[in-house]
Chains A and B, each alone.
Chain A
């Protein structure tokens, strides 16, 4: 049996600091919103001429009065991602096409064009925030129906921890937040809850079984009993996610990365956050038996 409970305090301190750092990052550095939420235009190009590079492309586009243009390689040397903010000019894509053809000869293939107006991006952001809030709220209701309040609190704390720290990491690394990240965050919410609930189920079962074991020991027993399941499921989920990350193409990179972080945090938090809440609230057999009488 691994003595997880020996490190409860240390990891709690770590988590609290991680959450604080994440919140500071989110407040002061903010998130790198993609065009889905900020509005603007995105163009993915593939060049047939290997001499064209980011800086020549950037020089060319900067003459076009597009405002703040970002040009990056996308996946490999011949693929480029161009982004700029909302432009009043309705024919801007056509003009870029003409301009590039003029300067580089007909050597570009426009693989993807996305253009999100300011109104739509504001709506997408709002509906994304609503979706995450509704998800958290429904999870709260579900867990509140399913468990005693101490457990609910533990699960919710773990959940917020995972979401905040994942977003904090995105802020730190400057990774782009787009629609698929919202999907990833929601899936993380589901996964983290899933993991916590499985351990909690066992804690509750053990609470009914043993009256003489303190919650500090009991959580450790429960974690150990469910440990192999926790690990196997995390491994298979991570295997699937890693394969999306490495082989699923550039478009899914951000999504799978967010999910990978989320699964790791989710597994960690169901062991070290959710359970320690139970310990700190001094949950005992009475807590679950009282419920049973009702």
Chain B
């Protein structure tokens, strides 16, 4: 245990130096690209906002089943199968048919190449489940169907969320999927997430529909409230134009009547439809509906064939800017709910950094003094190893550009406290060995050998705890387990290479000295 080859010594020195340089790159700016890395500060240290959004897929499921009604009816009409009594409730579509058609319907849904009920070729499971009882059918999404639906609405929602956040222009946002119906948004440096929260809370489903008096039209109509709550209007369900047809939207000051408006321009299809609707509908009111509420319903005076227009609705400049932003970035496939929010202001973050650093410094100094008092020369060796341990730990965190959180700093401080354990085990063992063994070299050698299993055991138990925390913990806890876990490896490295090397150098110079430790 006491022999070190020259090559090994060089190797140890180089590795230590490398990590020290990386650790220092947090303090100084190196010109080199590889070297110039920095530890990321977690949101709790640099301030920022963490939002967990959950996609409410229920409306999407309802909508899909609603659309399916028409598809099923048309599909079986061609096959001369009569289906009646379509009803949609509890995410289940029900209908009835007669005894003769029963098998045709069931076969169609069960067929592996079914057009009506796809997915089988790809997922070995259909999109829809169907049950039949006395010619009464119930259709609902299968497990696989729900998974696909959720995944696709998550993909779309992620894209829209990204666009909306990019439009606001916060620095380095982090937008990630969580599970199959959640989106995690981390916004460093943002201390008031109100605006983003309100922007993400809107589906931004924009439609242009005629105001009608006739509730029984072929498409049906619904009564909708105005955004400002002053008025109600019966609006046709027929959609003239939707947000998808928008190319651009901008807030603007309308100089004519001194009002803030949102101007928009339409794509070709949209422009055509808008032109047609405004030419046939002169004198009618066209309702502009956002998320089920009427923003305004102006009377059409002229045909608009240019493919651009403007929305007015008593906007402030801020609300017009936000609406334009929402329209530019597109509608969410489903509503988003913020189910978890954690925001830390920048000054609390700075306070936490300061407190963490002071705690680290004081803890470090106390441990170093205590160990020096206990072990003198070997205390110095342990302390050198401990200091290097800290540098290497920070160096590794820097190389991986890991995220340091406040609990992460706690993990580093705890590592400082527990790292000396290995050296203590070794030195205490050597002391015992020296009671029966007069030869210093032999006593040191067997001290190292005999303490090894206890040291490994001790570190494995802590490592187990750290690993579990890393995989099962969330957010800040991960930061703690990361530093604690890496700390175990750096501790073993510094104890067995650096402290042992220094011990060997000292002991081989003082072979004959009594009461060495």
Within 8 A of B (CB), among A162-198: 179-180, 182-183, 186-187, 189-191, 193-194, 197-198
A48 on the interface (CB 8 Å rule)?
Answer: no
Within 8 A of B (CB), among A223-270: 225-226, 228-229, 232-233, 235-244, 246-249, 251-252, 255-256, 259
B392 on the interface (CB 8 Å rule)?
Answer: no
Tell me if A131 and B454 are in contact (CB < 8 A).
no
Which of the segments A9-17, A54-62, A117-125 contacts the partner chain? A117-125
Q: What separation, in Å, do the CA atoms of A144 and B340 have in the docked complex?
A: 40
A25 on the interface (CB 8 Å rule)?
Answer: no
Q: What separation, in Å, do the CA atoms of A134 and B409 have in the docked complex?
A: 25
A256: B residues at CB distance < 8 A: 410
Say whether, besides A90-B201, A239-B367, A179 and B356 are in contact (CB < 8 Å).
no
Say whether, besides A138-B468, A186-B469, A194 and B374 are in contact (CB < 8 Å).
no
Q: What separation, in Å, do the CA atoms of A232 and B428 have in the docked complex?
A: 10
Say whether, besides A190-B466, A249-B356, A252-B406, A120 and B340 are in contact (CB < 8 Å).
yes
- On chain B, the number of residues with a Cβ less than 8 Å from chain A's Cβ atoms is 70
Closest to B472 in A: A131
B344 on the interface (CB 8 Å rule)?
Answer: yes
Closest to A191 in B: B462
B453: A residues at CB distance < 8 A: 201
Say whether, besides A94-B194, A240-B413, A124 and B474 are in contact (CB < 8 Å).
yes
B370: A residues at CB distance < 8 A: 232, 235-236, 239
Partner of B472, one of A46, A134, A191, A233: A134
Tell me if B417 and A241 are in contact (CB < 8 A).
yes
B420 on the interface (CB 8 Å rule)?
Answer: yes
Which of the segments A64-72, A105-113, A275-283, A285-293 contacts the partner chain? A105-113
Residues 270-294 of B, flagged 1 when their CB comes within 8 A of A and 0 if not, give 0000000000000000000000000
Which of the segments B8-16, B250-258, B345-353, B503-511 contacts the partner chain? B345-353
Within 8 A of A (CB), among B359-418: 359-360, 362-363, 366-367, 370-371, 374, 406-407, 409-410, 413-414, 416-418
Closest to B450 in A: A205
B342: A residues at CB distance < 8 A: 112-115
B106: A residues at CB distance < 8 A: none
Q: What separation, in Å, do the CA atoms of A171 and B195 have in the docked complex?
A: 40
Closest to B343 in A: A113
Tell me if B473 and A131 are in contact (CB < 8 A).
yes
Q: What separation, in Å, do the CA atoms of A238 and B466 have in the docked complex?
A: 19
Tell me if B355 and A138 are in contact (CB < 8 A).
no
Partner of A198, one of B362, B458, B477: B458
A259: B residues at CB distance < 8 A: 414
Partner of B477, one of A110, A179, A238: A179
Say what secondary structure dominates the interface of chain A. Answer: helix
Q: What separation, in Å, do the CA atoms of A183 and B366 have in the docked complex?
A: 24
Within 8 A of A (CB), among B180-212: 191-192, 194, 201
B480: A residues at CB distance < 8 A: 180, 183
Partner of B481, one of A134, A183, A198, A238: A183
Tell me if A194 and B348 are in contact (CB < 8 A).
no
Q: What separation, in Å, do the CA atoms of A189 and B460 have in the docked complex?
A: 12
Q: What separation, in Å, do the CA atoms of A223 and B448 have in the docked complex?
A: 20
Least CB distance from A246 to B in Å reads 8
Closest to B477 in A: A183
Least CB distance from B480 to A in Å reads 5
B230 on the interface (CB 8 Å rule)?
Answer: no
B484 on the interface (CB 8 Å rule)?
Answer: yes
Pairs A–B under 8 Å by Cβ, sample size 25: A44-B348, A90-B338, A111-B345, A112-B348, A113-B342, A114-B342, A114-B343, A115-B338, A115-B340, A116-B340, A119-B54, A120-B339, A186-B468, A186-B469, A189-B465, A191-B462, A225-B432, A229-B424, A233-B420, A233-B424, A240-B418, A247-B362, A248-B406, A252-B359, A252-B410
Interface residues of B (CB under 8 A from A): 44, 52, 54, 191-192, 194, 201, 337-345, 347-348, 351-352, 355-356, 358-360, 362-363, 366-367, 370-371, 374, 406-407, 409-410, 413-414, 416-418, 420-421, 424-425, 428, 432, 453-454, 457-466, 468-469, 472-477, 480-481, 484
Besides A112-B344, A142-B460, A236-B420, 18 other CB < 8 A contacts? A110-B343, A112-B342, A113-B341, A114-B342, A127-B472, A127-B473, A135-B465, A179-B473, A187-B465, A190-B464, A190-B466, A201-B454, A232-B428, A233-B418, A236-B370, A248-B359, A248-B413, A252-B410
